Amino acid sequence: MILFGTNPIAWANDDDQTLGAEIPTARILDEAGRQIGFDGIENGHRWPDDPEALRLLLASYGLKFISGWYSTELLVRSVEEEIKAAAGHIAKLKHNGCKVMIVCETSNAIHGNPTKPVNDRPRLTNPEMQAFGKKLEAFAAHLTAQGLTLVYHHHMGTIVESPEDIGAFMAATGPHTHLLFDAGHCAFGGGDPVKVLAKHVARVGHFHAKNIRPAITERVRSEGLSFLQGVVAGAFTVPGDQEGGIDFGPLLKILALAQYDGWIVIEAEQDPKVRNPLLYQTLGLATLKRLSREAGLI
């Protein structure tokens, strides 16, 4: 069954916590759950760490806990060390009935550095990607045994950003590793979202419906801006925004043909003082539901 969710970074950013700092947590949850009507919400720095306190808080607003980002550091530590480090996060996901665990390698990532140009992001050689993929697959197998599916988030400023990176990563991993396909990061990273999704849809376990403003993402590249500078400038937006450059209709048709069965999440960080989260998230959800019906996904 398809469920529709959101991410609190539309209201209160995790990487730059000054964005949305003035917005009360209760407002975020009330708008997402009671006013807009999302089925669930992903993790954010405002939520309690205690698994049951988290469940109760979200449930009081009619929301499920979808999952949450986990930063691996497998380039610099062992699989056994990673499993130990992730134990608390895994327990929180399991307690809340989550099906997927969102993972991204961040030991050398630069997306959280406000002064580092995103163009200077790290890259792996083919042998390095093969070695990383082997370790990640072992970590993913551990998650499978815990009842969770690892979904890897290709992300700007990290070792898996471009369509070529995604292809190499998927080739370096095995059946326990799945992909979190993010339309916005795919386009920003130089890929055609339709082509990339069609190529890898059989292993897509989670979908982020992030849109981009092409004029701004191009300026990030040409002017050597950081990822966070791009966010503040308005690089991202929601499905249905006329300024957005991604057509989500074909993407949802690909998911329908593949019989995708999971979450579709709007993850679109913007400056809430410039672009009202309630209005943009409402537009995004209405657009996705309409296009999903047209695609035969729901």
Residue 233 is predicted with a pLDDT of: 97
Range of the domain at 145: 3-295
Count of structural domains, the chain: 1
Write out the chain's pLDDT in tens, 298 residues: 899 999 999 999 999 999 999 999 999 999 999 999 999 999 999 999 999 999 999 999 999 999 999 999 999 999 999 999 999 999 999 999 999 999 999 999 999 999 999 999 999 999 999 999 999 999 999 999 999 999 999 999 999 999 999 999 999 999 999 999 999 999 999 999 999 999 999 999 999 999 999 999 999 999 999 999 999 999 999 999 999 999 999 999 999 999 999 999 999 999 999 999 999 999 999 999 999 999 999 9
Buried b (16+ CB within 10 A) or exposed e, 257-283: eeebebbbbbbbbbbbeebebbebbbb
DSSP state of 117: B
Q: Give which of 132, 134, 116 is closest to 124, Cα–Cα.
A: 132
CATH of the domain at 25: 3.20.20.150
Query: What is the spatial distance between Cα 68 and Cα 150, in angstroms, rounded to a whole number?
Result: 11
Query: What is the spatial distance between Cα 223 and Cα 235, in angstroms, rounded to a whole number?
Result: 13
